Amino acid sequence: IKGPYDHFMQKEIYEQPETTENVMRGRVDASTNRVVLGGLENWLTELRRARRIIMVASQTSYNSCVAARPIYEELMEIPINVESASDFIDRDCCIFRNDVCIFVSQSGETADTIHALKYCINNGAVTIGVVNSSGSSISRLTDCGVYLNAGPEKGVASTKSYTSQYVALVMIALCLSEDSVSRIERRKEIIQALTLIPNQIKEVLELEPSIIKLCENELEKQETVFFFGRGFQFASALEGASKMKEISYVYSEGILTDDLKRGALSVVDNVLPIIVFATKDAILPKVVSSVEQIMARKGNLIIICNKGDKTWKQKKQPRNIVTLEVPQTVDCLQGLLNVIPLQLISYWLAVKKGIGVDFSRDPAM
């Protein structure tokens, strides 16, 4: 079943051109610039009337919500909350009848997420499921939903589900904001860019040989790795750090780039690998300025940037900055491409360390 791959995780990473295509199939129409989601059709009036959207999920699924949040805020112009399911159920959150709650889960069976869903149902909210496993508890309990159609995820690490959840959440935002005249051009730009994503993921996968080298030369002996991202890329930093801990057993943190100045800078030295997301968007200049502070401390930088970005090669540094170049897409989708090198890094690091990547020593996974 693994075909030419050694592990399910590697196979599932390589399935992403196809799985991102599958989640859009019959839903994203680039000729009319529309997104039609059959699973939401009967609830569109209630959904478009929402006063607030709350996304609830666990771990990687939570990270996909963080990735999608900024585009919801921009397109829908209502408050958007993202909640980790276990924290959500620890609090007595205020949920109202005009709230729309989106539950995101690969398995559709995560106990905390189901618990949170039942709480929202009892409080009268309209609920949407974004689930991979058809017929699962979350898909049955929610009012309406969008299936990921990503096929079974056998490796313990969620990889293809993350990118499919991300695409599904963006599609929901595009569908719910269809009435907004002021957003027509922005929506068109995103819809056109979505159709290019599967092929762009293929391009990113070609980085594998450089990633193997990076693992051998820079990362294999390391006990800690930091990921820095901000704006659309904060979710990429969180997801990179989760994969690193879960699969490669390397202590890792995903940090808001701007929080560098609030403590993290003090641990920067010329050993600790720091992976920074510096792909092109409106806040790239701020990222560049943070990177310069890391450089001033001779930090061990690995930069994820767009193809052809000469910024980093031109920087005068005592040691070369390693760059991983990914194709450019629209800002709110860039995380779909940026996350692929992280999946490959955590996979190859685990393989080099002899870890059984398709299993985990974390019993909750």
Q: Does residue 244 interact with ligand F6R by CB under 6 A? A: no
Residue 125 vs residues 39, 50, 82, 108, 259: alpha-carbon distances, Å: 17, 10, 15, 19, 35
Minimum distance from residue 85 beta carbon to ligand F6R (Å): 8
DSSP letter for each residue of 181-214: GGGHHHHHHHHHHHHHHHHHHHHHHTTHHHHHHH
Token pair for residue 167?
A: 């695409």
107 binds ligand F6R (CB under 6 A): yes
Q: Shortest gap between Cβ of 239 and ligand F6R (angstroms)?
A: 9
- Interaction of residue 164 with ligand F6R, rule CB under 6 A: no
- For residue 176, which amino acid is it? L
Interface with ligand F6R includes 111 (CB under 6 A)? no
Q: Is 19 in the site for ligand F6R (CB under 6 A)?
A: no
Task: Please say which residue, 96 or 359, places its beta carbon nearer to ligand F6R.
Answer: 359
Asked if 344 touches ligand F6R (CB under 6 A), the answer is no
Q: What are 300's strand-pairing partners?
A: 273
Residues 142 to 161 in contact with ligand F6R, rule: CB under 6 A: 157-158
User: How far, CA to CA in Å, does 142 sit from each of 45, 91, 147, 265, 350?
Assistant: 16, 21, 12, 44, 37
If one asks whether residue 136 binds ligand F6R (CB under 6 A), the answer comes out as no
The answer to whether 343 contacts ligand F6R (rule: CB under 6 A) is no
Strand partners for 229: 256
Integer CA distances (angstroms), 303 to 6, 201, 323, 356, in order: 28, 18, 5, 28
Instruction: Choose between 10 and 110: whose C-beta lies nearer to ligand F6R.
Output: 110
Task: Give the containing element (helix H, strand E) for 90.
Answer: helix 85-90
Pick from 113, 177, 248, 343 the residue near ligand F6R by CB under 6 A.
113
Half-sphere exposure for 356 (CA within 13 Å, toward CB): 5
Mask of contacts with ligand F6R, 35-74, x by CB under 6 A? -----------------------xxxx-------------
> Judged by CB, which is closer to ligand F6R: 245, or 315?
245
Closest to ligand F6R by CB, 59 or 306: 59
Does position 10 bind ligand F6R by CB under 6 A? no
The CA-atom distances, in angstroms, between 235 and each of 108, 208, 359 are 21, 22, 24
Contacts of 206 (CB under 8 A, 6+ apart): none
Does 184 bind ligand F6R (CB under 6 A)? Our answer is: no
Q: According to the binding rule CB under 6 A, does residue 246 interact with ligand F6R?
A: yes
* 156/205 with CB nearer ligand F6R: 156
Residues contributing to the site for ligand F6R (CB under 6 A): 58-61, 105-107, 110, 113, 157-158, 246, 365
